[in-house]
Amino acid sequence: MTCFDGLALRPAHISEIELVREIERASAQRFVGTDRVALADDEPTDAETLARRVGEGGLLVASETGAPVAFVMFREVEACGYIEQIDVLPAHAGRRIGAALIDAVADEGRQRGWTTLTLSTFKDVPWNAPYYRRLGFVDIAEAALTPGLLAIREAHLARGLDESSRVFLRRAL
């Protein structure tokens, strides 16, 4: 466990899965008023996936007085860390909690022998690709997408995401 700005950054507990889902729901409200408003009504990550990530050590939370206020979900893809989801309660936005969680994943990744973190996000949403670029992520060219990242793209398409508006990014560890 590490600390950041009065928050504990630590692995999530199974008992916190519904709290994590509520954080995801609340964070999705940022899409209201954008051309991606439908995302605000999406169901959060299912409890089974979250439980699997807890068991694999792929779900970290930032907690304040014991209760999660943010989380990052990640897994290994092709010997690298893939950040699947990161959300912060709107009341806690702007405190660099997301950046601290990404740094915690980077630390964990180095311990696991990963050399890179990857993610997929919207190209033009200010709190998506532009934000991650400020944190040291760089675009991955279409021609450089690996089989694992292409499989993630296929899963996104199956969920109905518009992949033409998304980009894969990477950050060296």
The pLDDT, as a whole number, for residue 127 is: 79
Cα(86)–Cα(73) distance, integer angstroms: 6
Residue 65: its pLDDT value, please? 86
Please check the confidence at residue 40 and state whether its pLDDT lies above 90: no
Overall pTM > 0.85:
yes
Question: Which pLDDT does position 165 carry in this prediction?
Answer: 85
Residue-range domains of the chain with CATH: 2-172 (3.40.630.30)
Residue 95 in this model has a pLDDT that exceeds 90: yes
> Identity (one letter) of the amino acid at 1?
M
- How many other C-beta atoms can be found within 10 angstroms of the C-beta atom of residue 124? 13
pLDDT given for residue 37 in this prediction: 56
For 49-86, how does the pLDDT look when each residue is reduced to its tens digit (9 = 90+)?
999 999 999 999 999 988 999 999 999 999 999 999 99
The CB density around residue 145, as the number of other CB atoms within 10 Å, is 16
Residue 38: per-residue pLDDT: 58
Helix (H) or strand (E) holding 28: helix 17-28
Average pLDDT over the chain reads: 92
Range with the poorest average pLDDT among 1-10, 26-35, 39-48, 162-171: 26-35
Say if residue 127 is exposed, middle or buried (CB neighbours under 10 Å; 0-12, 13-18, 19+): middle
Looking at per-residue confidence, does 38 or 159 come out higher?
Answer: 159
- Mean pLDDT across the stretch 94-113? 96
Sign of the CA dihedral running 62, 87, 75, 116: negative
The DSSP string of 29-80 is: GGGTTSTTGGGGGSPPPPHHHHHHHHHHT-EEEEEETTEEEEEEEEEEETTE
Rounded Cα–Cα distance for residues 57 and 11 (Å): 7
- Whether the predicted pLDDT of 4 surpasses 80: no
Residues in the chain: 173
Mean of the pLDDT values across residues 24-52? 81
